[in-house]
Chains A and B, each alone.
Chain A
C-alpha cells in the first residue's frame, strides 16, 4: 500500500511564525503536491514538485514556499504565518495516474 505521512495531525502557531509542514512518501513517486482545503473552496493547489529540487507554483503560492531535497520528502513552508492560512493542508504523491493523500494537517494560526 502507498503510504503518505504528514508529520503532524494538528498544529497551532502564532501569527508571524515560520511554519514547516513535512510530508514523506514511501512509493518512490516522482510527483508530490501540497493542497489546502477550505469549506466551499475545495482543494486548491499550492505547489507541486515533479522531481528532486524541481518545483512549480500552483494556484495559490503566495505566502508559501517548498523544499524537495530528497525524492521521498516534500516540505511546505509558511514564511510568516497569518490567520488566513488557517486551513487543512494535504500532501499527495503520484507517479502517472491517481494521487495518494496523507491524513492531513489541521493548522490553526492565532
Chain B
C-alpha cells in the first residue's frame, strides 16, 4: 500500500537554528514528490517538485532533497515567518492521484 510518513509531527526551533524535516514514502514507481507549506486556515502553497533520487531544489532558506526512500526539507537559519505546517505528497506513476503525509508543524521562536 502506498504510504507517506512525515516526521517529526511538530518541531520548535529558535530563530537561526537550522533543522530538517523528513518525508519517507512507499510507492510503486514515483512520478513526483511535492512539498507544500500550509498556514493556519489556508490552502497548501506549492514549494517544490522532485522527480528523481539525487535531485535537489532550493528556495530562500529551504532546500529539498530526494533519495529512493525519503525526502528531506532542510531549513537554514529559520525566521518566525517560516512557522507553518509543511506537507509532503507523492504521485505514483500512471495515476493522477496525490498521497499526502499528515505534515510537520513548525514553530520558529524569535
Kindly state whether residue B71 has any CB partner on chain A within 8 Å. no
Contacts of B91 in A (CB 8 A): 97
Contacts of B45 in A (CB 8 A): 101
Which of B49, B87, B103 touches A98 (beta carbons < 8 Å)?
Answer: B49
Which of B32, B41, B43, B97 touches A97 (beta carbons < 8 Å)?
Answer: B32
Contact indicator A33/B41 (Cβ below 8 Å): no
The answer for the CA separation of A13 and B96 in the assembled complex, in Å, is 31
Kindly state whether residue A74 has any CB partner on chain B within 8 Å. no
Closest chain B residue to A31 by CB distance?
B96
Docked complex: B24-64 residues within 8 A CB-CB of A: 32, 34, 36, 41-46, 49
Contact indicator A98/B43 (Cβ below 8 Å): no
Min distance, Cβ B83 to any Cβ of chain A, angstroms: 17
The answer for the CA separation of A41 and B89 in the assembled complex, in Å, is 14
Kindly state whether residue A21 has any CB partner on chain B within 8 Å. no
Which of B's residues lie within 8 Å of A, judged by CB?
Answer: 32, 34, 36, 41-46, 49, 87, 89, 91, 96-98, 100-103
Contact indicator B49/A101 (Cβ below 8 Å): no
The answer for the CA separation of A92 and B46 in the assembled complex, in Å, is 11
Contacts of B41 in A (CB 8 A): 104, 106
Contacts of B102 in A (CB 8 A): 40-42
Contact indicator B97/A48 (Cβ below 8 Å): yes
Offer 14 A-B interface pairs, CB within 8 angstroms, sorted by A: A31-B96, A35-B100, A43-B89, A45-B98, A90-B44, A97-B32, A98-B34, A99-B98, A101-B43, A101-B46, A104-B41, A104-B42, A104-B43, A106-B41
Which of A41, A43, A90, A100 touches B46 (beta carbons < 8 Å)?
Answer: A100
Given contacts A97-B32, A98-B49, A104-B41, contact A43 B96 (CB under 8 A): no
Contact indicator A103/B43 (Cβ below 8 Å): yes
Min distance, Cβ A41 to any Cβ of chain B, angstroms: 7
